[in-house]
Structure 1
Amino acid sequence: MIPVRRRFLAGIAAVVLALPAAAPVATAEPAADPVTQNPISGSFSDTYADPAVIRGKDGYWYLYATSDPLHEAPSEFGLMHIARSRDFTDWEYLGTVFEEGDRPAWTTNTSFYWAPDIRYVDGQYVMYYTVTDTVAEAGPWNYAIGAATAPTPAGPWTDTGGPVVAPRPTGNGDYFNTIDPALLSASDGKRYLYFGGFHGGLWVTELDETGLRAVGSPTQVTIADRYEGSFVVERDGWYYLTASSANCCAGPVTGYSVYAGRSTSPLGPFVDHEGVSMLDSRVGGTQVLAQNGNRWIGVGHHTIVTDVSGQDHIVYHAIDRDDAWLDAPGGVNERPTLVDRLDWIDGWPVARAGAGPSDTPQPAPVTASSLGIDASAPASNGALRGDWSAGTDSNGDGGAVAVLSGEARTTRNAPRDVRVEADVRAAGTFSVEVARSGRNAITVTVDPAARTLTATATRGGRVERDTAPLPSRWSGEEWTALAVEVRDGRVVARLAESRLGDADAEVAVDLPRGLTGSRPVTLSGTAQVDNLTVVEAHEPVTERVDEPRTGRTVFTENFGGDLRPGWEWLRPSSSVTVGDGVLNWPLASVDVVGAGNTGPLLLRTPPEGEWIAETKLNLDLGSGTIRNYQQAGLIVRVDDDNLLRLGDVAIWGSRQVEFGKELNENGALRWGAHLGGPVASTMWLRIHHTTDPETGEHQYRSASSRDGETWRWGATWTLPADTSPSIGLYAGGGATPATVATFDWFRLYEVR
């Protein structure tokens, strides 16, 4: 067999052709900006949950989904799905990953395959996925993580013959949730697999050099009762763990949402923007994405992708609250795929600057090149001239590629703030050069011999340089994505296997003043090049959307003695007392969710229009111990079967802020919640009310604070326009151990 490296070099030599001298430089004309509309999977499916995305070396963006029926009945369960698009707008469905007849032999014939995670590893595509039942373990739901490999993103897929992470018995006759895998190839040279869910928590394990088997002992990175669906990216010296919380699949009351923590180590601990750990019982997490009152609820289980302009996007599933279920089979949530812009503000990711999921046309991810370059066949139309020729990828799925054997330059000027990206196989040194003017230039170089990535900025006699080593897993004989971004007086370059927040290496240099300019891009060296794009670098969004702010106080209850007029007790309890500036409410084994409806409520009619209700709550639920489901807080009530509830609640070993909704759906009581926090023994809780100007529908958004000054705004629930909900206070959920909720006051504010 001819060694891969020799075949690769021979392939380059065979297709190098002489080209005419470079044509005069021209300025590129702007292209029309495409738009996308959620759900992006709607053209080929009714549901497409737990989405994963990768850009193949053939230039297509591939979109994968969990095992579900693809359409309303009649539709068979597909064993994970595949679709693709050139532009994130027009999608083509390709089929399933597995067929019934080729299920992996180590799994049962009734196993489900959930939550695919797709990566490019050592020259092949690897799909990690959840297996719900294995042959080797007794009993049902012995979750494990499997993997399958393929030469192309469309398959054919070959299972690796056993688990990447085996089932994990709890010792109590069942198994921890070893589900929802997500790979990170980190700049420290190691590959890590994150996995897990509510029953057991999120964990991370190191993988062997193949990326197909776990090694060593896993490390727990979140508390057991909060998160699933992890996805980790490396950015600016931090590892960001993003994950989903709450029930994914409660139909029209699904409150699924996405949170983040960060760490300087892939192993954690991951803390939120206030320094609260995701491992704490009073669990932390900075909100990334939550429902905002439009049609979309249950927004989560996501992938983070970067378009060719450098803009990040979050790809996730959601539920249309007015069409929450597939018609058949019964009980299957309809969860199509959505995409929205992901911004980084003050060092934290947030969807659409905090605006949440979109239901109107939005700018599509940038996937095509400017400067006349055909990204999928970069040497096809003379957009670059020089030592540059057309070739074919004979060792992978790249298709039409360009072969560089010297220097090639774009025939048009690139923007001043530019992003250049390409998949590269570097037989020798490979460089990208921008803003060249005489001896001045910005140059990024991959050096396979020295095994380094270097960024150099030269202006006159001044040279600024940053160099990073390439990890042992990097090979110039395999495709690697190189991105070079010049923006705001800085150049940042990254090499990455999968372009999904992973990093083989990253370098950054602050540029000498006056170095940037609108000039051609030059590629030099010996390499195969594919998916070449040169576009204007994205303009980051740096300010969050405005949050509600309190204005004039329109009502205050200080609990100094008799309640002020307007209050009404529903199912009053003699144990609840008012006086001396507090409302003392001993917790009892009562509730207002479900069919029982035994809990007392203190209610009043709110003002018309927009307002904010707020209370100060003292409730010490301790930490770590199981106190299900002691709680207290604010309530919005139409009747006992149609209500919203915002409280500090004990959920198994965790303590969380829960903003839930109960409704009667065709005779069935449904309950679901958004989970927030963190909590403290003293909490401030808010509900912001407004109405939809077109429909009159009531909209309620949650917020919580541990100091009364710094607020975390959460999800939005709705109630019908033809109702007149009350606002008030509640407490309950359990009498053991004996606990008293103390409310210091209740207020209603106008909104500024």
Structure 2
Amino acid sequence: MLKAWKKSVQGKFARTAFAAVTSAALLLSVVPSTSAEHWALTGDVAVHDPSITKEGNAWYIFSTGQGIQVQRSDDGRNFYRLPQIFLSPPSWWKSYVPKQKTNDVWAPDAQKYNGRVWVYYSISTFGSRTSAIGLTSATSIGAGSWRDDGLVLRTTDSDDYNAIDPNLVIDASGNPWLSFGSWNSGLKVTRLDKNTMKPTGQIYSIARRTAGGLEAPHVTYRNGYYYLFASIDNCCKGVDSNYKIIYGRSTSITGPYVDKSGKSLMDGGGTILDAGNDRWRGPGGQSVYNNSVIARHAYDATDGGNPKLLISDLKWDSAGWPTY
């Protein structure tokens, strides 16, 4: 999640984005498609950095905002907002990010593993690598009663990478990993302990760009490949945002990841999945569910550039590459 988002959180979006937004059907037409469905969404769809998951018949979106914002849909179409996870910030946050705006949480990632729902999240400040990734968990989303599982990892301005934008990854053998990172030296992945769900070993670099932004990794395993989705360029500028979603794949979770042309994501590679259109500017902050659904935010040019939720079916071509 690009840190410029913090400025917009403190401005107009902070006053309006998390209020209930009743919109007409949000029909996305990023690229022509006869096979994929772009979901028609209604209700409260104001969102930034969405993480999508499902429990029973209900769909849930976790996103950037006060105390971690949560939205629910009982039919996958109409969304409404639930109480935030943290009503007040845990005291340990200030120890690692003393200048954090009170209870301001970035880019959460919610996934089920080993009988619990794990929500990784980040706290930071604009223009700084003094950041921390934290963890909270519960037996189920519906049950609530979120447990504070504390610090996962941290960075300071002396580090060449940034501890934000976490994503829980489960490898082909059922082992948990965490991908994370933003700009600077790029995206990382590290193995987690199954019991603590915290790092237990080396941090590997999996993607890097020397020009433009790179952030918001999301890794998923499918048919022998690990697919890395990421956001490039600039978010958080309303209709002037030029965020894009890219992807690459690898036979190993630690890389090397290459795009469709064979270029390494460590050398600035990445095939574009979604670059937006006239209405939906700067799509990014993506989240993939069950290799069949992709959620992201984009800035609505028909509504002052406010960020909103978009959800689509995720398809795969005959060569095993993702597409709409």
Q: What corresponds to 2:109 in structure 1?
A: 117
Q: Does the CA-based 8 Å contact 1:202-1:224 persist in structure 2? A: no
Change (3 A) 1:40 1:105: farther
Aligned ranges for residues 333-372 of structure 1 at < 5 Å? 334-345=306-317, 346-351=319-324
Q: Which amino acid aligns with 2:249?
A: R
Q: What corresponds to 1:194 in structure 2?
A: 179
Q: Secondary structure at the match of 2:239?
A: helix
Which has a greater percent of strand? 1
- What are the superposed Cα offsets for residues 232-276 of structure 1, whole Å, 9 maximum, x if unpaired? 111111100010101111222111111111000000010011110
Q: What corresponds to 1:317 in structure 2?
A: 297
Aligned ranges for residues 640-659 of structure 1 at < 5 Å? none
Please give the alpha-carbon distance, in whole angstroms, between the structure 1 residues aligned to 2:307 and 2:26. Answer: 18
Please give the alpha-carbon distance, in whole angstroms, between the structure 2 residues aligned to 1:166 and 1:210. Answer: 20
Q: What corresponds to 1:298 in structure 2?
A: 282
Aligned ranges for residues 22-37 of structure 1 at < 5 Å? 37=27
Larger Rg: 1
Q: Secondary structure at the match of 2:152?
A: coil
Q: What corresponds to 2:243 in structure 1?
A: 256
Deviation for aligned residue 1:55: 1.2
Change (3 A) 1:140 1:288: closer
Q: Which amino acid aligns with 2:296?
A: Y
Q: Secondary structure at the match of 1:83?
A: strand
- Out of 225-234 and 177-186, give the one that drifted further: 225-234
Aligned ranges for residues 344-493 of structure 1 at < 5 Å? 344-345=316-317, 346-351=319-324
Deviation for aligned residue 1:178: 1.2
- What are the superposed Cα offsets for residues 256-312 of structure 1, whole Å, 9 maximum, x if unpaired? 1111110000000100111100001xx11111111133x111111111124xxxx82
Deviation for aligned residue 1:50: 0.6
- Correspondence 1:182 to 2:170: no
Q: What corresponds to 1:52 in structure 2?
A: 51
- What are the superposed Cα offsets for residues 416-447 of structure 1, whole Å, 9 maximum, x if unpaired? xxxxxxxxxxxxxxxxxxxxxxxxxxxxxxxx
Q: What corresponds to 1:265 in structure 2?
A: 252
- Correspondence 1:90 to 2:74: no
Please give the alpha-carbon distance, in whole angstroms, between the structure 1 residues aligned to 2:113 and 2:282. Answer: 32
Determine which of 136, 140, 154 is the counterpart of 1:148: 136
- Correspondence 1:159 to 2:148: yes
Q: Secondary structure at the match of 1:164?
A: strand
Change (3 A) 1:322 1:89: closer
Deviation for aligned residue 1:94: 1.2
Q: Which amino acid aligns with 1:48?
A: V
Aligned CA RMSD, in angstroms, stands at: 2.3
Deviation for aligned residue 1:214: 0.7
Deviation for aligned residue 1:99: 1.1
Please give the alpha-carbon distance, in whole angstroms, between the structure 1 residues aligned to 2:283 and 2:26. Answer: 18
Please give the alpha-carbon distance, in whole angstroms, between the structure 1 residues aligned to 2:321 and 2:177. Answer: 22
Deviation for aligned residue 1:322: 3.8
Deviation for aligned residue 1:224: 4.8
Please give the alpha-carbon distance, in whole angstroms, between the structure 2 residues aligned to 1:168 and 1:349. Answer: 35
- Out of 200-209 and 211-220, give the one that drifted further: 211-220
- Correspondence 1:126 to 2:118: yes
Change (3 A) 1:217 1:193: same
Q: Secondary structure at the match of 1:279?
A: helix
Change (3 A) 1:223 1:141: closer
- What are the superposed Cα offsets for residues 603-639 of structure 1, whole Å, 9 maximum, x if unpaired? xxxxxxxxxxxxxxxxxxxxxxxxxxxxxxxxxxxxx
Please give the alpha-carbon distance, in whole angstroms, between the structure 2 residues aligned to 1:338 and 1:40. Answer: 9
Q: Does the CA-based 8 Å contact 1:203-1:219 persist in structure 2? A: yes
Q: Which amino acid aligns with 1:114?
A: W
Please give the alpha-carbon distance, in whole angstroms, between the structure 1 residues aligned to 2:216 and 2:304. Answer: 20
TM-score by length of 1: 0.35
Please give the alpha-carbon distance, in whole angstroms, between the structure 1 residues aligned to 2:146 and 2:130. Answer: 23
Deviation for aligned residue 1:82: 1.1
Q: Secondary structure at the match of 2:178?
A: strand
- What are the superposed Cα offsets for residues 559-616 of structure 1, whole Å, 9 maximum, x if unpaired? xxxxxxxxxxxxxxxxxxxxxxxxxxxxxxxxxxxxxxxxxxxxxxxxxxxxxxxxxx
Please give the alpha-carbon distance, in whole angstroms, between the structure 2 residues aligned to 1:324 and 1:211. Answer: 43
Please give the alpha-carbon distance, in whole angstroms, between the structure 1 residues aligned to 2:220 and 2:258. Answer: 15
Q: Secondary structure at the match of 2:111?
A: strand
Deviation for aligned residue 1:93: 1.7
Please give the alpha-carbon distance, in whole angstroms, between the structure 1 residues aligned to 2:264 and 2:75. Answer: 38
- Correspondence 1:106 to 2:78: no
Q: Does the CA-based 8 Å contact 1:256-1:298 persist in structure 2? A: yes
Q: Does the CA-based 8 Å contact 2:193-2:200 persist in structure 1? A: yes
Q: Does the CA-based 8 Å contact 1:119-1:127 persist in structure 2? A: yes
Name structure 2 gaps, 5 residues minimum: 1-24, 29-38, 95-99
Q: What corresponds to 1:650 in structure 2?
A: none
Deviation for aligned residue 1:188: 2.4
Change (3 A) 1:110 1:253: closer
- Correspondence 1:81 to 2:98: no
Please give the alpha-carbon distance, in whole angstroms, between the structure 2 residues aligned to 1:86 and 1:55. Answer: 10
- What are the superposed Cα offsets for residues 312-368 of structure 1, whole Å, 9 maximum, x if unpaired? 22111000124345xxxxxxxx211111222212321122xxxxxxxxxxxxxxxxx
Deviation for aligned residue 1:159: 1.4
Please give the alpha-carbon distance, in whole angstroms, between the structure 2 residues aligned to 1:61 and 1:268. Answer: 31
Deviation for aligned residue 1:189: 3.4
Deviation for aligned residue 1:212: 2.3
Q: Does the CA-based 8 Å contact 1:252-1:319 persist in structure 2? A: yes
TM-score by length of 2: 0.79
Name structure 1 gaps, 5 residues minimum: 1-34, 68-77, 134-138, 326-333, 352-752
Q: Does the CA-based 8 Å contact 2:42-2:78 persist in structure 1? A: no
Please give the alpha-carbon distance, in whole angstroms, between the structure 2 residues aligned to 1:129 and 1:41. Answer: 25
Deviation for aligned residue 1:90: 2.2
Q: How many residues align structurally? A: 279
Please give the alpha-carbon distance, in whole angstroms, between the structure 2 residues aligned to 1:324 and 1:277. Answer: 37
Higher relative contact order (CA 8 A, sep 6+): 2
Determine which of 63, 66, 73 is the counterpart of 2:64: 66
